[in-house]
Structure 1
Amino acid sequence: MKRQEQSLFPTFKYHPDPLATGTIRRQQTSCPVCQQIRAYVYVGPFYAEENVEGICPWCIKDGSAAQTYHGQFTDLIDCDWREFAPEYLNELHHRTPGYRSWQSEVWLSHHNDFCAFVGYVGWKEIQPFAEEVAEDLAKMKALYGFSQAQLERWNTGGSIQGYLFQCVVCGKYRLTADAS
């Protein structure tokens, strides 16, 4: 295995800071796709027939990981695929690091494009965006039967896990959550 000079860390339209979200870690890996020793490794979900570990971010970005293993980084079940351009779907599924959720991941959209995953949040973290995500909070209250008091006690990693997204077109924040 040869060591390759690290090129600039790849950027991802729908997951702009995978280091901050913990989906990619600074940890040496021997990438099974490019066969290079890399300083960063992907530790998020990858849906393929084979159990593949050690994928580097560069092989996610160029689509070679998904192509090599006939896999994808998101497994969106509740999505109307017809509302998205094929290139958006391809980029999300095959060239974007996924995120871990308690249940089935939901990748929010706005303006007929997928939003960027910002991170895992609790009540305290969403306060600066509370007005923008009010409609999403109302949906969560209805879906899970949350009271306002339950939401205000919500901490990251508690019985409610929030996922914050931001529209790539207009910058509006969106919110979804899982409950245990």
Structure 2
Amino acid sequence: MGFAIRVYKFREGEVVPVDASVVREVLEPYAPYDVPDGQSVEWVRAADGSEADVHLDHGVAFDRPGPGVLDPIAEVARRTRAAVLLFGDPAAAIVTCEEDRAHLPEDLREVAVVAPSSVLTGATIQQVIRPRPEPRPRPALPPFPYHPDPVATGSVTAAAETCVCCGYDQGWICTGPVYGADVPDGRVCPYCVAFGTAAERYGAFFNEVEARRMPDDVARRIRERTPNFATWQDWDWPAHCGDGGVFLGAVGAEELRSHPQALDHLRRQCAEWGWGPETTEGFVGALDKDGGQTAYLFRCRLCDTHFAHADFT
């Protein structure tokens, strides 16, 4: 930071001296040298290695303070009940109460921020120096009955990206691939998935479905209007009770402990592969939601049974 931060105390618009002994008490632990008796601290270094030159007169000036120095600056302001001043374009001031704002010079009163002592920290000063932008408001996602929380599963993410289908930046984008011979390069927004626009315009689809295991309208909704999710192998969207399963996310052995029905389903799947009990238990115990062998958790919309599908590299 190539600027100075000043800690000054005011009464009726005029500067009054801060308590030099309090300033020394706060700053001496940060001085990378032995401060002689009777002298003020002239240089501080924070735990993160950032530094500042310090000048004490009626107030305290910190030249070129690094990020870690902001906490001791805030402590000096709290302990002396002084204002933190940042001169520049724009100027800024931080005081700990409305009463102290009234004592500031008139031009500073208008820009002063009140931060009570209990919340005045280095992070508070940083926020005033470099305010974080307000989060971009994003529209609500359309409903996906068979993939109800695609943000949590990583299939949809917040992004400032133009959808290749509608041509708009909707604030959200689907992260998975889009299948279809006529699909242009790029990613689509979840609205073009949910409303069937990508399917109608480009013949796009997102999931493989074994249609005979569920009604045609359900199969079409999962295939053409439901975001897909990352898998190691290609496999059909599973069904239960004649309906498509509701995808809840990737899971490992730890997460499956709370879903015994899904564990039993996985064991039956392993048995269908011809695996014995020892191999099956070793495989199930090594499942990792972020690893090379994982499982995908589903729930039946009709009977509420949880079941899982195993996948591996």
Bin for the TM-score computed over the shorter chain: 0.7 to 0.9
Which of 288, 291, 295 lines up with 1:158 in the alignment? Answer: 291
1:29 matched to which residue of 2? 161
- Residue type of the partner of 1:25? T
1:179 matched to which residue of 2? 312
Report the alpha carbon displacement of residue 6 of structure 1 after superposing the two structures with TM. Answer: 5.3
Report the alpha carbon displacement of residue 172 of structure 1 after superposing the two structures with TM. Answer: 1.0
TM-score (norm 1): 0.86
Q: Comparing 46-55 with 66-75, which one deviates more in the overlay?
A: 46-55
Which of 111, 127, 131 lines up with 2:241 in the alignment? Answer: 111
Report the alpha carbon displacement of residue 111 of structure 1 after superposing the two structures with TM. Answer: 1.2
Task: Report Cα offsets for 1:95-130 as digits up to 9, x if no partner.
Answer: 100112101133111110101111111111111112
Report the alpha carbon displacement of residue 134 of structure 1 after superposing the two structures with TM. Answer: 0.6
- Residue type of the partner of 2:256? I
- Contact kept, 8 Å, 1:14 with 1:116, in 2: the verdict is yes
**Aligned-residue CA RMSD (Å):** 1.9
Partners of 2:267 and 2:236 in 1: CA distance: 15
Q: Comparing 141-150 with 153-162, which one deviates more in the overlay?
A: 141-150
Partners of 1:163 and 1:144 in 2: CA distance: 21
- Contact kept, 8 Å, 1:47 with 1:75, in 2: the verdict is no
Runs of 4+ in 1 over 6 A off after TM superposition: none
- Contact kept, 8 Å, 2:199 with 2:224, in 1: the verdict is yes
Partners of 1:11 and 1:156 in 2: CA distance: 25
- Contact kept, 8 Å, 1:45 with 1:74, in 2: the verdict is no
Larger relative contact order (CA 8 Å, sep ≥ 6): 1
Which of 148, 171, 180 lines up with 1:39 in the alignment? Answer: 171
Question: Residues 31 and 171 of structure 1: is their aligned pair in 2 closer, same or farther, counting only changes over 3 Å?
Answer: same
2:302 matched to which residue of 1? 169
Is the counterpart of residue 18 in structure 1 residue 150 in structure 2? yes
TM-score (norm 2): 0.52
- Contact kept, 8 Å, 1:122 with 1:162, in 2: the verdict is yes
2:29 matched to which residue of 1? none
The percent of aligned pairs where both chains have the same amino acid is: 26
Report the alpha carbon displacement of residue 132 of structure 1 after superposing the two structures with TM. Answer: 4.5
Matched ranges for 1:44-59 at <5 A: 44-49=176-181, 50-59=183-192
Question: Residues 35 and 51 of structure 1: is their aligned pair in 2 closer, same or farther, counting only changes over 3 Å?
Answer: closer
CA radius of gyration, larger in: 2
Partners of 2:159 and 2:259 in 1: CA distance: 33
Is the counterpart of residue 121 in structure 1 residue 254 in structure 2? no
1:147 matched to which residue of 2? 280
Q: Comparing 98-107 with 150-159, which one deviates more in the overlay?
A: 150-159
1:131 matched to which residue of 2? 261
2:205 matched to which residue of 1? 72
Partners of 1:123 and 1:27 in 2: CA distance: 32
Question: Residues 51 and 126 of structure 1: is their aligned pair in 2 closer, same or farther, counting only changes over 3 Å?
Answer: farther
Partners of 1:142 and 1:113 in 2: CA distance: 22
* Structure 1 alignment gaps of length 5 or more: none
Task: Report Cα offsets for 1:131-179 as digits up to 9, x if no partner.
Answer: 3541332222542733313321322233412111111122211101112
Give the SS at the match of 1:34. Answer: coil
